Amino acid sequence: MQVVLLGPPGSGKGTQAVELSSRLGLFHLATGDILRQEVKNQTALGQEAKAFMEKGELVPDKLILAMVSSRLESGRDYLWDGFPRTEEQAVGLDALLAVRSSVVDIAVLLEVPDEVIVERISGRMFCPGCGANYHRQSKPPKKAGICDQCAKGLQVRPDDRAEVVENRLRVYRERTEPLVLFYEKKGILARVDGNRALQAVTADLATLLEKVRRGQKVLNG
């Protein structure tokens, strides 16, 4: 089963993907996480990607598709998080899957209003040691600014700063939102209200994906 998670930055894709992939036994592939690792390791790809990421721009499609292609393994059920982000990437993913006799089964759009997104992103923090994510309001660490798991000092992602968030939202609207129509035309788009308690959203997503796995009809109309 191939699942694409769509949604604006801050819609909860990453958090939901971690939970869902472990519940459903899917392989979580987040291009943003891979890129941050490449930047940290100062690889050639990381050095090229860094400037785009810091400005909230998209890393060029060719680099992203090569990066995904080199990691894709046949026969694996993927939960795609933050990829595809452009129509060229979506077409590229279809082509990569086609040679492995696979297709995208469902694209789920997590819907969250803009004002909620800005509020959510502005409280985000992460641990540079173990990668755990926190939020000042919804998921605070036990001790302010310190990771519960490894006691390292928490940081704010450079692209979560307010001025960059605005650009990321603009880029999302221009480049990524057209994918809603792309998957709608294929008849595989499902919408989930992401503006609710985390667990309620996870429960709905899990039910939806279980149905897709059983081959049941999940879309209206």
Report CA-CA distances (Å) from 130 to 38, 49, 61, 141.
16, 22, 28, 14
Total residue count of the chain as it appears in this document: 221
Q: Is 23 a catalytic residue?
A: no
Q: Is 13 a catalytic residue?
A: yes
Using CB positions, name the residue nearest to ligand AMP: 32
Closest contact distance (angstroms) between CB of 53 and ligand AMP is: 4
Between 88 and 213, whose beta carbon lies closer to ligand AMP?
88
Give yes or no for a contact between 122 and 104, defined as CB atoms under 8 angstroms apart. no
Q: Which residues bind ligand AMP (CB under 6 A)?
A: 9, 31-32, 35, 52-53, 56-59, 64, 82-83, 85, 89, 159, 168
**Biggest alpha carbon distance in the chain?**
50
Active-site annotation holder among 76, 157, 175, 213: 157
Q: What is the DSSP letter of 115?
A: H
Q: Is 214 a catalytic residue?
A: no
- Count Cα atoms within 13 angstroms, Cβ side, for 98: 6
Q: What is the DSSP letter of 11?
A: S
Q: Is 191 a catalytic residue?
A: no
Between 172 and 189, whose beta carbon lies closer to ligand AMP?
172
Q: Is 143 a catalytic residue?
A: no
Between 52 and 206, whose beta carbon lies closer to ligand AMP?
52
The token pair at 209 is 């994906």
Active-site annotation holder among 40, 100, 124, 217: 124
Active site residues: 13, 85, 124, 157, 168
